[in-house]
Amino acid sequence: MWVGRAKVPGMKLAVEAEGLVKQYQGRSGTVDAVRGVDLSVEAGEVFGFLGPNGAGKSTTIKMLTTLMSITAGTARVADLDVTAEPQAVRRRIGVALQEAGLDARQTGRELLILQARLFGASKHDARARATELLELVDLVEAGDRRIKGYSGGMKRRLDLASALVHEPDVLFLDEPTTGLDPASRLTVWDEVRRINELGTTVFLTTQYLEEADQLCDRIAIIDDGLIVREGTPRRLKEDLRERHGLDAEPTLDDVFLDATGRTRERAAGEVQEVTV
């Protein structure tokens, strides 16, 4: 039986969940979407959260980001209790969901200034922060153009910038490169690395296994509401090779298949997308 990593004394955690459970009441009775998730994400790392559709990945993210109530268990983000201090948690996290919530009529700069003002920045500071973020995500030249003229990759990068306006301790990214062409995907990867190098912890959900392998310090795989594997990509691949006596180096795809029994199909951009 696989056992998750134990907490190390003195280790600073950006995200911690113990026995996290989410139940729904459906027509046929109680639905267990998440059945007891334990997670420890160290401050400063890029943590990947993988799982097939319906495995409980999105539900877990929504609980950690205060978008959904917790049925049982505990969760702490940025050293704050998610249930007891949801407003404080929201001020310490950034969230970029799959569908960017951008107003096409605004310019990129206007959007970032508005976001900064909503978080209490003065007009001067909001303008300065917008300029910093446009530089960070390489959108300076497009900053004064209306968002409706942005490409999909540009919108995704602007959404990243928007989530960083208030300098969050933890950035949650929900499948940030889904639907992007290969070049745009690589650009977003570079932005994620740059954001992380500046000290922000990144909690990344993705269905692209190569993406997790390239970006993440550690990953966890969830299936049927439970964590079934956790570790560094390298260690998980080494463990699979040792357990099965493989001659060739396995891929993260092989790790995923071993953990969940799901299949995979070739997706656009020469990446593997997990499917049920």
Report the run of H or E that residue 182 belongs to, with start and end.
helix 182-197
**What fold is seen in the domain 13-275?**
Rossmann fold (3.40.50)
- Domains of the chain by residue range: 13-275
Q: C-alpha angle 170/192/224, rounded to 5°? A: 65
Helix (H, G, I), strand (E, B) or coil at 218: strand
C-alpha 252/C-alpha 234 separation (Å) is 9
Contact 252, 233 (CB under 8 A): yes
pLDDT digits 0-9 by tens, 78-115: 999 999 999 999 999 999 876 667 888 999 999 999 99
pLDDT digits 0-9 by tens, 210-266: 999 999 999 999 999 999 999 999 999 999 999 999 999 999 999 999 999 865 554
The three-state DSSP-derived secondary structure of 97-149 is CCCCCCCCCCEHHHHHHHHHHHCCCCHHHHHHHHHHHHHHCCCCCCCCCEHHH
**Residue corresponding to tokens 């950034």:** 94
Confidence of residue 59 (pLDDT cuts 50, 70, 90): very high
pLDDT digits 0-9 by tens, 138-184: 899 999 999 999 998 899 889 889 999 999 999 999 888 887 888 88
pTM: 0.84
Q: C-alpha angle 268/272/273, rounded to 5°? A: 80
**Residue corresponding to tokens 């070049």:** 183
